[in-house]
Structure 1
């Protein structure tokens, strides 16, 4: 019965717990634990009365079996808050991704990929003709292109159409504003130069800004390539193909215009090989010996240049002379800015048809030094080196130089023309020159007397020119010629002078007395003449009875070797026509064996020097000095004590 009542009370308790609208009374929270006494408190809180027939303190202990744990469920309001936060976070991430994609790939993106730059034009143009190119700029951005500048870079030699003398390297052209989706086309003209079939290219690029940005963008396109279809000028070369070593030859260059317009400031440049010695040209070179300038060459016009020179080399060697035509650069008027045409000519060398051996005073060097005031003998030995005869040989010697005296030129058998300073031999003056058969010989000679009075670097040069006729393999008679050069350099003639003095500053008696030392001052004078001298040195020796005092004067270096008893004065260098003076002191102690004699106080004086002009070693000597002073013999005779 008691169990039934307890069950009814529990049901009533549940009804009150889940009843709606009733105000809940505050209840005191109790701490649950395993103590049995705590159950009474719990029952009081929930208004549950224990069974009446069982005293509270004596209620039997009934074990309570633990049941399965009940699941704890979060309140419904908390689950909705979590879902709301997760939804907001996902929406934010999706919005961020969408905006990034829109900024990167959207139509408002500013990119060089949205600027299209193109260059078009003819693939072939004649040299010197006008080249027209079209440049297109397309703006595919969604914003305008502002402050755009087109940059064109040209190949070497490109000229302005408006100013033909102006060479173009690059140009910058400002462009108007280019609206979104707009295409801007512009045409440019230049004058292209170059060799025939030469490939060239023009580079185009653009610098620009966009509205609302201070950044500068850059876009470059593929280079526009074109070819020079024809050269504006043609070079025709006329020259001999086979020549003898030492033979003088003439090369003719014909410059022909192939341009419909006049060509201004055209340069022709020659590149000589080793062994080619330029002699002259017609017209004269514009710069150096290898650049000629044609101020204006009209359409289909022609200009001719003749170059004369001597080719030297061994048999069978080849020599090539290269020529180039081009326009002058605006930065350097003597430089080819662009090459329009090239040409070359080749020589094959053969042995000289007439070998010429020249000997000067027996020396066969190209440069020979001779002593001044001496007659010089020159011998020419000719020999035919061909397998056939040489006819009507003519030999000319052209003389020049500041030491040449017309009155002292004496040819043997030939004639000297003082007006042209040329010695000439031909068949009328020598029968041997009428015909020189294979291995035929002829000898010619002349003499010279070089002059040196008042001259600096005196010299004589001469060129031996030999010409004749031979029958070629096809039976035609052709002229052959050869040239050989020689130089005679006249040496300087230095002079050394020596003298002895006895002054008040020199102790000792004069004339000298046995057993008493007498001091002398020795004066040296070195003189140069026509040429500069270097390494000038004066030396002498002292007798055993003469002592070196060490007192000297004069520029340079003095020294005395007590073992060899050599006095040396190194003067150094001397200009032509100058003198060098120096002194040194010696002490003479006479002996009884020298009474009534004038003994030597120094030996011979020697001068040695290098001639800076001729490269030879020069020497000069003067005799020994005695105790005699100023030609007074009594002043130098040794007296008894």
Structure 2
């Protein structure tokens, strides 16, 4: 009976120790500040259940354990049991338990990204987006209409014709006349007309007939205006002379462009219109005139007078008219003109004065198979051994 009573007391002591151990652990779980809300009730029940199961397991263990008869040994046994109960913590919350999240963190909304916030901003202010789209559309439409009107306006006033009248053939070295016609076929007048010619490498400009060029090379002409097709003068003719020097049967090509401003568009930006001039070709033939140039003396003292004789010969079977002779003197002041004589071999007439400046002579007629001589005199200046070229 004493042993049975001691065993019951031992069991009661064991249960009391277990309750003491369990109670604060359950209570600790219930009052942890990091757990709250619905998660707190669930965890408390879970840990309370784990404590009850552990308590039952430990009671069963105590009931099946043999107790020593010796009172001192029994007391040590109970002390060991109590120590074991105290050390055996069956509320271990550090294992692979599910992580507990604060309810405030769960209820806190996530911060939206930039794109989401931007789209939300546009959705709320849909009227602003609509106005922006309308403004862009109207601007694009206006720009397109402006460009279209500019192009259509230029196309409306582009009815200007320009073409070159060139000889089919030209003898090498013989002066030949070219014509350029510009016709305004628009219903409005045009102004600031410019004619730009592209000369062939074999072409050499000699003189203007009408009008005078805007530069010395003879390839740019400027006209003030041309009237409309049904009013006044709507056509301009440009004439000039030149020579071709190249191989026999070689073709010389001449082209150009006419630019102008329609009067209704005067003062506007980018209002100038260009019209190309179709290219014309001239075939170079054998020369009809033979030219030889011979100095009277090959060597001339510095500061003395020298004479150059130029002989022209008509090699053709027909009379040549309206010839023009142009001398080119050495550059850098090596030759200073003093006098000249132009003599036709079948007459006694002598021309002693140049027709233009001091280097241009006009020959009205040169009969077939006849010659004409031009003598030019001048003072020579230069260092010893310098060669002076005439052409």
TM superposition score category, shorter chain reference:
0.5 to 0.7
Task: Find the partner of 2:72 among 48, 56, 68.
Answer: 56
Give me the whole-angstrom Cα distance separating, in 2, the residues matched to 1:10 and 1:4: 10
1:185 aligns with 2:135: no
2:191 alignment partner in structure 1: 264
Give me the whole-angstrom Cα distance separating, in 2, the residues matched to 1:61 and 1:299: 134
Give me the whole-angstrom Cα distance separating, in 2, the residues matched to 1:53 and 1:423: 164
1:108 alignment partner in structure 2: 122
Residues 511-550 of structure 1: CA deviation (Å, up to 9, x unaligned): xxxxxxxxxxxxxxxxxxxx3x44xxxxxxxxxxxxxxxx
2:8 alignment partner in structure 1: 8
Matches within 5 A, 1:257-296: 257-278=184-205, 279-288=207-216, 289-296=218-225
Give me the whole-angstrom Cα distance separating, in 1, the residues matched to 2:290 and 2:352: 27
1:83 alignment partner in structure 2: 100
Greater RCO (Cα-Cα under 8 Å, separation 6 or more): 2
2:337 alignment partner in structure 1: 403
Q: Is the 8 A contact 2:169 2:285 kept in 1?
A: yes
TM-score by length of 1: 0.38
Residues 69-113 of structure 1: CA deviation (Å, up to 9, x unaligned): 9772347xxx89x5233x555655x612x354522543439xxxx
Shift in CA distance, 377/423, structure 1 to aligned 2, threshold 3 Å: farther
1:378 aligns with 2:152: no
1:355 alignment partner in structure 2: 290
Matches within 5 A, 1:455-604: 459=378, 490-491=379-380, 531=381, 533-534=382-383
Q: Over aligned residue pairs, what C-alpha RMSD do you find?
A: 5.1
Give me the whole-angstrom Cα distance separating, in 2, the residues matched to 1:423 and 1:180: 77
More strand by share: 1
Mark the runs of 5 or more structure 2 residues left unpaired by the alignment: 25-66, 262-270, 330-335, 356-360
Q: Is the 8 A contact 1:382 1:443 kept in 2?
A: yes
Matches within 5 A, 1:25-424: 54=70, 56=72, 72-74=90-92, 82-85=99-102, 88-89=104-105, 95-96=110-111, 98-108=112-122, 142=126, 144=128, 179-180=131-132, 182-183=134-135, 185=138, 187=142, 189=146, 192=150, 231-278=158-205, 279-288=207-216, 289-300=218-229, 301-327=234-260, 339-361=274-296, 376=307, 378=309, 380=311, 382=313, 384=315, 390-393=317-320, 403-405=337-339, 412-414=345-347, 415-418=349-352
Q: Is the 8 A contact 1:412 1:446 kept in 2?
A: no
What is the aligned residue count? 305
Shift in CA distance, 354/276, structure 1 to aligned 2, threshold 3 Å: same
Secondary structure at the aligned position of 1:320 is classed as: strand
Secondary structure at the aligned position of 1:236 is classed as: strand
Give me the whole-angstrom Cα distance separating, in 2, the residues matched to 1:397 and 1:101: 84
More helix by share: 2
Q: Is the 8 A contact 2:68 2:74 kept in 1?
A: no
Aligned-pair CA distance for 1:243: 0.9
Aligned-pair CA distance for 1:269: 0.6
Shift in CA distance, 100/251, structure 1 to aligned 2, threshold 3 Å: same
Shift in CA distance, 99/418, structure 1 to aligned 2, threshold 3 Å: closer
Secondary structure at the aligned position of 1:390 is classed as: coil
Shift in CA distance, 397/342, structure 1 to aligned 2, threshold 3 Å: closer
Q: Is the 8 A contact 1:281 1:308 kept in 2?
A: yes
1:162 alignment partner in structure 2: none
Secondary structure at the aligned position of 1:359 is classed as: strand
1:586 alignment partner in structure 2: none
Give me the whole-angstrom Cα distance separating, in 1, the residues matched to 2:339 and 2:104: 119
Aligned-pair CA distance for 1:380: 2.7
Mark the runs of 5 or more structure 1 residues left unpaired by the alignment: 25-50, 110-139, 146-177, 195-225, 329-335, 428-432, 437-441, 451-458, 460-489, 492-530, 535-608, 617-641
Shift in CA distance, 362/444, structure 1 to aligned 2, threshold 3 Å: farther
Aligned-pair CA distance for 1:339: 3.0
Q: Is the 8 A contact 1:416 1:423 kept in 2?
A: no
1:526 alignment partner in structure 2: none
Aligned-pair CA distance for 1:245: 0.8
